[in-house]
Chain A
Amino acid sequence: MRIEDHPILGKTERRKRITLKVDGEAVPALEGEAIAAALIASGRRVFRYTAKRRGPRGVFCALGRCTDCMMIVNGQPNVRTCVTPARDGMVIQTQVGRRGGEATHDLETESS
């Protein structure tokens, strides 16, 4: 959920609306905001699954240190979505595991 009006910060500044493709679905975003922000605003909180136990992970530190928020962006894995600006047309996938080779958004192959 976006905070459109805030008692101290006022109304959100106007920014260009763009669209991201997240696991195949169109997700609205604002140009230049952190990818993670757009995902959280759209109700998504699981960003990746760990390699061994397929544990869900989402935002933890929100400043690019902990790597919990990493996803595959435009084919590149391990992108820290909390510090990467969203651009129109970005293709984003839930990352499973660590390296590019294991990175897939196909989750039906594993059940924990």
Chain B
Amino acid sequence: MSGVAQKDGVRTTGIPSKEELEASPGYPNREALERGPIVVIECVQDIPCNPCEMACPKGAITVGNPITQVPVFYAEKCDGCGSCIPICPGQAIFRVDITYAEDKATVSFPYEFLPMPKKGDLVQGVNRAGEGVCEAEVLRVQRPEKFNHTAVITVTVPKDLAMEVRSIKRLKR
């Protein structure tokens, strides 16, 4: 990945563009998404970093040497366990399940704010620009000690927003 600023790409807006994401070897294609819960890696720059490679018990992520290479995701090996999600220092890994229900999908994302939502809470799903785009129901909040203070939250969202919702609006203290 070169350092040349792509117009409207992550280097100018802070948000990876659709083109950058789809061109990234960390992004699953439509087929993979339709098989069940699958991880989505949104890391598109040559940052020296590789904990995701070590985190995956199925070997579905490789970074290799030099560690500035973007993660390559082998979707066929991924079972959606999500072990990689809390590990990524850049919080750039998510899990999506578009097969969850007829009209709903689930999105899992890393979260490090207080107050933590609880299972059953109705919250606002936000897109990569922080804009509220839908109501979301909290299915699960995982925050075991081994996650080192990073929670992984799973919410249900309208199916057509599964590749848009990447977090929730922070709750009031």
Contact = CB atoms under 8 A, between A and B. Distances in A.
Direct A–B touching, Cβ under 8 Å: yes
A7 B91 CA distance: 15
Range class of the B interface residue count: under 10
Contacts of B112: 7-8
Contacts of A8: 112, 149
B100 interface: no
Interface of A: 5-8
B114 interface: yes
Contacts of A7: 112-114, 116, 149
Contacts of B149: 7-8
Interface in B135-166: 149
9 contacts: A5-B114, A6-B114, A7-B112, A7-B113, A7-B114, A7-B116, A7-B149, A8-B112, A8-B149
A6 B173 CA distance: 11
A73 B153 CA distance: 48
A6 B113 CA distance: 8
A16 B138 CA distance: 39
Given A7-B112, A7-B114, 6 more contacts: A5-B114, A6-B114, A7-B113, A7-B116, A7-B149, A8-B112
Nearest to B116: A7
A101 B133 CA distance: 62
Q: Which of A5, A6, A7, A8 has the most CB of B within 10 A?
A: A7
A5 B114 CA distance: 8
